[in-house]
Chain A
Amino acid sequence: MRKTLFASVAAGALLAAFAAAPASAVEDGKSDLAVLHGIPDLTVDVYVNGALTLDDFAPGDLAGPLSLDPGTYTVAITAADAADDSAPVLGPVDIDLEADMSYTAVAHLTEAGDPTVSLFANDISAADSGNGRLTVRHVAAAPAVDVLASGDALFEGLTNPNEVMADVPADTYSAAVALAGTTEPVLGPADVEVQEGVNTIVYAWGSAEDANLALAVHSVDLTMAAPDGVAAGTAGLADEQGAPIALLIAAALAIVAAAVAVRVAATRK
């Protein structure tokens, strides 16, 4: 969960590309927070509890996650050249972070095109082995959309600022976003890699009116159980037969045979 990959990509590009997710999900008793900038054409500074935390945060950027103590944090977003957070362009908003949870705070446009901030809780509960989780979040100034996987509607009628998710077998999916009820992509198709034990979160952000819709991807590790087993050998080259049974039997037979021979020989004498 500490490793995050973010990619803001043009339609058709490979979205997910992270090599290896790290260990455990959220550290015990802590809260993880990532921040996504999904407002086009506006470079900002982000203040948290009055302190400059993200300087010159550009559209499409994702920062974090930070491992934080649970609690309430005040977030204010200012113009990139602001001296402090006294005149925010967005906020201040209070966000409540609970222990053992993973969050992403997203600065984005509403469906009507106004800037806002949404806090999403990232589902890091375990998936069945072999599965990953695919989450899609609509944070774009655009009407309801359908999410298509390989041409079929996977999620229907998703509206800003909501999300849909499903656990799916780990694989690479061709995903696209179309206006609800249509199949002509307004975004994508793009290959989205869903890894085993990872929540792959896809954001549709930007503005349909301004023709700058974009996809962004953020990966968060799920809290997976220990393996059931480790089958670490398949060739039998390190075979340790408990005892050389066959040899022992052969030797025992030899003894019996020899003893019999001695008897016979002695009897004949």
Chain B
Amino acid sequence: MRRAVAVATLSCVAATCLVVAAAVTWPRPAPDFGAPAKASRTDVVPPIKAGLGAGVAIESSAIDDQKAPLEPASIAVPSLGVDMPIVPMGLNPQGGLALPDTSLEAVWYRHGSVPGEPGDAALIAAHVDNRKTGLGPFAKLLSVESGARVSITMSDATTVDFAVVRRERVSKQDVNFEQIMEDGAGMLVLVTCGGRFDATTGHYEDNVIVWAVPTELSWTQ
């Protein structure tokens, strides 16, 4: 009998340990960080855009000499080993951001701002995963840390660097990209999905959003 008690007691302890261990070690989303406050203009130094663009007098330049505008061509987050091409896309017919059928390419919202230009935040997004291509590089954004460097290579091979200042997981029901892009003036906003996956809809319940501010005046034209 004593033996039975011992065994039962032991299994009770073991089960408790299991629960504790599960609670402690079960992977949980990384906590959000960064201030949700509206970016103050003094925090963000918009890169100086020299040459053609704002304020060019028509008298002083032949207009057929204008260069093609810059577009982001690739995005790298060296600390996470992320380096992927960017394709420009607009809206899908439902009004959401159009995305390619792959997790290996990021999308730049071409109706929004160019990264590094003053004005509303520039938006770059990528699938966290895809049935064909599996987990994409943006899956690593779910654990990106404050201060991480985000480097955008433009179509003319120049780069604009940003530093991550905030990461937040937001319910897709609450997310408001118009507000995010307005409030994040001068910033780069990276978006992917996270949180619980709803197998019935085939979608994640949350967006993971990362804000980054320009760190250098690397804009050249």
Residues of A within 8 A of B (CB): 2-3, 19-24, 27-28, 30, 33, 35, 48-55, 57, 61, 63-69, 73, 129-130, 169, 195-197, 221-244, 247-248, 251-252, 254-255, 257-259, 261-262, 264-266, 268-269
* CB <8 Å contact, B177 and A269: no
* CB <8 Å contact, B92 and A130: yes
B8, B16, B199: most-surrounded residue (chain A CB, <10 A): B8
* CB <8 Å contact, B88 and A241: no
Q: A66-B66, A227-B95, A234-B127 are in contact. List 8 more A-B contacts (CB 8 A).
A: A24-B112, A65-B63, A69-B55, A130-B94, A226-B123, A228-B96, A229-B96, A268-B1
Q: CB < 8 Å: which of B12, B64, B178, B202 contacts A259?
A: B12
**Interface residue range, chain B:** 35 or more
* CB <8 Å contact, B94 and A240: no
Given known A22-B110, A197-B90, A265-B5, contact A237–B135 (CB-CB < 8 A): yes
Write the nearest CB–CB distance from B208 to chain A, whole angstroms. Answer: 9
Q: CB < 8 Å: which of A230, A255, A269 contacts B15?
A: A255
Q: CB < 8 Å: which of B11, B58, B94, B131 contacts A228?
A: B94
Is B38 on the interface with A (CB-CB < 8 A)?
no
Residue of B nearest to A18 (CB): B68
* CB <8 Å contact, B16 and A67: no
Q: Please, which residues of chain A bring their CB within 8 A of the CB of B59?
A: 48-51, 53
Residues of B within 8 A of A (CB): 1-2, 4-5, 7-9, 11-12, 14-16, 18-19, 22-23, 26-29, 53-56, 58-64, 66, 68-69, 71, 87-88, 90-99, 103, 109-114, 117, 119-120, 122-123, 125-131, 134-135, 138-139, 142, 172, 175, 177-178, 180-181, 191-197, 199, 202-204, 207
Given known A243-B26, A259-B12, contact A235–B129 (CB-CB < 8 A): yes
Write the nearest CB–CB distance from B135 to chain A, whole angstroms. Answer: 5
Write the nearest CB–CB distance from A196 to chain B, whole angstroms. Answer: 4
B109, B202, B204: most-surrounded residue (chain A CB, <10 A): B204
State the 4 A-B residue pairs at the shortest beta-carbon distance, nearest first: A130-B93, A233-B193, A258-B12, A261-B8
Q: CB < 8 Å: which of B14, B117, B178 contacts A225?
A: B178
Given known A67-B53, A224-B90, contact A235–B134 (CB-CB < 8 A): yes
* CB <8 Å contact, A22 and B71: yes
